[in-house]
């Protein structure tokens, strides 16, 4: 888990990878413990009949939902920060 700081609002964030492989910031402050049912093979299941036990998982909310400066990221045009690949 990579911790960092939001460039927009300075909040503590955690970098995660989304299902399609993109980096996604999560709000470190939004940690919640959630019980997840798993079967005997430790696979998550939503069927209580098949559940073997419950494991406690930490979940975080996307920082985009929390960030007061999220608008800045969404409409941000390309900043002119000299990003040339040919040196």
* Residue 9 makes contact with Zn ion by CB under 5 A: yes
d(CA 17, CA 25): 8
* Paired tokens of 59: 């979940």
Q: By CB under 5 A, how many residues form the interface with Zn ion? A: 5
CB 45 to Zn ion: min, Å: 35
- Region binding Zn ion by CB under 5 A among candidate stretches 34-42, 51-59, 60-68, 74-82: 60-68
Helix H or strand E encompassing 57? strand 53-59
Binding site for Zn ion (CB under 5 A): 6, 8-9, 11, 67
């Amino acid at each position: 888990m990579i911790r960092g700081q939001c460039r927009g609002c300075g909040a503590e964030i955690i970098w995660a990878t989304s299902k399609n492989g993109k980096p996604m910031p999560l709000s470190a402050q939004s940690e919640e413990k959630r019980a997840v049912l798993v079967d005997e093979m430790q696979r998550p299941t939503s069927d209580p009949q098949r559940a073997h036990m419950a494991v406690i998982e930490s979940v975080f909310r996307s920082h985009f939902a929390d960030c007061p400066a999220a608008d800045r990221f969404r409409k941000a045009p390309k900043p002119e920060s000299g990003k040339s690949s040919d040196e």
